[in-house]
Every structure is written in structure tokens, then in C-alpha cells.
């Protein structure tokens, strides 16, 4: 819910998610606009 709310803010273009939980990442993608950027991976790989 928090990420979806942030995705509506005009100055927030995306999020960097560092989790191995594919369900959580899928939910973020499903609940945010198509142009919202979701980067996923460990801190050292993004």
C-alpha cells in the first residue's frame, strides 16, 4: 500500500526492491502504474 501511494507522487519515478520474494515484487508491479520503474536485486547488483 505504501509503494502504491508513493507511485502516485509526481516526483517518484520508481523503487529499488532488495527482496528475494517474487510475490512481493509482483504485487508492487501489479499495484503501480505501467510507467513506474521497479528495480530488483541486491544492493551491489543494481
Within a domain: residue 18? yes
Within a domain: residue 45? no
Within a domain: residue 46? no
- Structural domain total, the chain: 1
In contact, 41 and 18? CB cutoff 8 Å: yes
**DSSP letter string, 1-46:** -HHHHHHTSTT--EEEE--S-HHHHHHHHHTS-TT-EEEES-TTT-
Within a domain: residue 30? yes
pLDDT of residue 46: 54
Within a domain: residue 22? yes
pLDDT of residue 13: 97
Domain extent for 13: 2-40
Within a domain: residue 17? yes
Within a domain: residue 10? yes
Query: pLDDT of 1-46, one tens digit each?
Result: 799 999 999 999 999 988 888 999 999 999 999 999 999 887 776 5
Cell (9 digits) for 23: 510475490
pLDDT of residue 3: 94
pTM greater than the 0.85 cutoff: no
Amino acid at each position: 500500500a505504501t509503494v502504491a501511494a508513493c507511485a502516485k507522487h509526481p516526483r517518484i519515478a520508481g523503487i529499488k526492491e532488495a527482496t528475494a520474494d517474487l510475490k512481493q515484487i509482483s504485487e508492487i508491479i501489479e499495484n503501480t502504474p505501467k510507467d513506474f520503474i521497479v528495480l530488483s536485486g541486491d544492493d551491489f547488483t543494481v
